[in-house]
Each structure stands twice: as C-alpha cells, then as structure tokens.
Amino acid sequence: MPSPYRAIFAAPGTKGFAAAGLVGRLPLSMLGIGVVTMISQLTGRYGLAGAVSATLALSAAVLGPLVSRMVDRHGQRRILRPATALALTAVAGLLVSAQQRWPEWTLFVFAAGAGCVPSVGSMVRARWAALFHGSPRELHTAYSAESVIDEVVFIVGPILSIGLSTSWFPEAGPLLAACFLAIGVVWLTAQRATEPKPHPRTDQTAGSALGSRGLQVLVAVFAATGALFGSIDVVTVAFAEDQGHKAASSLVLAVYALGSGIAGAVFGLLHLKGDAARRWVLGVCAMAVSMIPLQLVGNLPFLAVALFVAGLAIAPTMVTTMALVEQHVPRAKLTEGMTWTSTGLAVGVAFGSSAAGWVVDAAGARAGYAVSGAAGLLAAVGAFLGYRRLRPAPERVGVRAHGGDGKDEQRLAEQRHQA
C-alpha cells in the first residue's frame, strides 16, 4: 500500500471501523439494484421495479438526514442500532410481499419503511474527520480511501445481488444485503474508541445543515448525478437482458465501479492545491461528457469500455465533494451534512431509475441511456450556476477545513477590521 494510505491506517482503530464500514455499506449497492432485479424477475415489469426502487431511495432521502442529525446529537451507537432494526423489519416485509405476490401497494409501503437505513459511509467519514481534525492532507487521503472502498462496494455488491437473484432465487440479493447491514452496523457501533463525540442541541447546533448555501448547491447537483447513476443501473440490466446475458449486467456495472476505484486510489496520492470548487465543477462536467458514448452502445463489450471510462471521473469528484462539505458545514453538523449529499444522490437515483424504467418499457433498453445523458447535462449546468456559492472567503476555507464552530471566523473578521 502506498505510504499515504499506510500512514492513515497506522492510527489505532482505523482498520476496524473501515472494515466495518465496508460491510455495512454493501447494501448501498445491493439493495436498490436487488429490488429491481427481484421484481423484474417476478413480474417482468421494469417500470414497477424502478418505481419501487425509487420509493426506497426517496424514503432514504427523507429519513437519512434525520437519522444522521440524531447521530450528531446523541452518538452513533445510540441511534444506529434501533434505526437499523426498523430498516431490517421493513426489508423483510418487502421480500415477503414480493414472494407471496401481495398487492402492489404493499411493495411501496415496505420500501418506504426501509428508507431509515443509516448512511454508514457518512458515519465512517465522520470518524475519519474526528481522528484527523486539523490535518487536511491526511483527511484527503482518508476520504480517497473511502471512495476506493465505495467503489469496491459497487464492484462486489451488484455482482452478488444480481448474481444471486438470477441464479438462486429472486429475493436472494436483497436478503443478503440486509444481512450485511446488520453485521456492519453492529460491528461499527461496537467500536466506541473512535466514535465521534455527540453535540447536544444548542443555539449553535439548532437547525439543519442544509441552511448552508454551499451545501444546497452540492445537494442539488448530486440529485442530478444520482439520476445518472440510477438510470445506468436500470438500463444496463435491461440492455444485458436484451442481449441475452442478464447476469452479465453485474460484471458490466462492476467495470464501471472499477474505473472509479482506480481513479480514486490515484487521486488519494496527489497533494492538490488551488480551488477545490473549480476541481469539483470540472469533475461534474467530465461525468456529463462521459455519457455521450452510451448513446451509441450496441453490445456489452462496448458498453463495458464506455462505462469504465465514465467511471474515471466519479471518485475524484466525490472526494472533492467531501472536502467542500467540510468547508461549508459546521463540525457539529458534519455527519448530517455528509448525509445530505447522499440524500441528493438518493433523490436522483429515485427519479433516474424510475424514468429509465418507464423509457425501457416504452422504447427499449438502448433508449434508456438518454435519461443518463440528460441527467449528466443537468448536473453540469447546476454546477456552473452554483459555482460562486462554493467559493467561500479564504479565511472561511481555513476555519471550516479545521472544524471551526463560527467563533473563530468572527475573531478573524475582527482582526482584519482592526488591522
């Protein structure tokens, strides 16, 4: 392992919570695509499959930040375990209702209940932020490592979920995702030494992290980015089925994640200077441009190559996003702020997967990639329009990056005035 990565994992407890985070994050890549595969296997209807998956994503978008806000105030162990228990109960109901062919509305009810799945990735990143408070170089490497872990999750997860659901029984993928969630959360919350200290409600911590104008831009653009991701998942499964190799869709999606993972590993070795907001805009635009070849796809090998290239822009953009969240969100609301970016993605995935499912049903699998292209264009436009909000004054960059609570900013302003 390169020295920057070896250095951050030398800190006590880091290997343990990173490993637990990997296991607990597998449902992120398994549950949604598993639901799509399960319902399409049982009913043959991609529109219904996309709508149920969208309901799950929208519910997570609403409930996820609330769970994370309670975590910021009361601690990870106290909140994550009961939230996970509720999510697991809802997932069990979803699987039973699908298997027993209960009325369609029951699928949507249980999918909505499963939305209280906690954002394990945000919990792990909050631990890194607490551990390397005031060390931006190490934190950059840690966030890059987390992006690589995210991509490992998105390589392994779809292969397991789609592979099991198509070769064993339709409910196998979501069932295994639920098992990973239970194991990961219990393992993570058992590690008390690295758990960030809670920040009880005060006048300074009242209100939502979404009050930050910079965070609003990130969340809005991530909604469009999520539509890109969600549509690619649904359309790729449908396209592979049209080609007579539905199970191969998991491998093609794994190649997409592999491109991102490689880019994230390299990005973590770099010591970048300059405007993070400009790098973020360029990354979003690169993701948008990478959607163009998908409009020309004709076979699975071409699709795999196109998705690998498209994946190269993902992890660096995600790492830069986490750095921007730290600049614009107080430390007492950091977990919630990180979860809001996931929420933006979840909302986008909901609309993207649903729209793609309807387009596939109406016009065929290839036409579905037009949804991905439109989402990429919308993300790029949003990034350009919101760029100014992502450029705080230089003293705010320093304070936010080191977790200031706002009082340091006031003192800096007073010192400048006196000078």
State the average pLDDT over residues 314-328: 84
What pLDDT was estimated at residue 392? 57
Residue boundaries of the structural domains of the chain: 3-192+210-408
The CATH number of 3-192+210-408 is which of 2.60.40.10, 1.20.1250.20, 1.20.1510.10, 1.20.810.10? 1.20.1250.20
Q: What is the pLDDT of residue 233?
A: 82
Give yes or no for residue 396 having a pLDDT over 80. no
Closest CA to 197 of 126, 146, 136: 126
The C-alpha atoms of residue 401 and residue 328 are separated, in whole angstroms, by 9
Q: What average pLDDT does the segment 226-249 reach?
A: 86
Cα three-residue angle 29-33-36, rounded to 5 degrees: 165
Q: In b/e form, how buried is each residue of 393-414, taking b as 16+ CB within 10 angstroms?
A: eebbbbbbbebbeeebbeebee
Tell me the pLDDT tens digit for each residue of 293-314. Answer: 999 888 899 999 999 999 999 8
Span 173-195, mean pLDDT?
Answer: 94
Say if residue 221's pLDDT is above 80: yes
Confidence of residue 315 (pLDDT cuts 50, 70, 90): confident
Q: Does pLDDT of 183 surpass 90?
A: yes
More confident residue, 329 or 359: 359
Task: Give the pLDDT of residue 201.
Answer: 63
pLDDT at 62 over 70: yes
Residue 39 has pLDDT above 50, yes or no: yes
pTM for the predicted model, two decimal places: 0.73
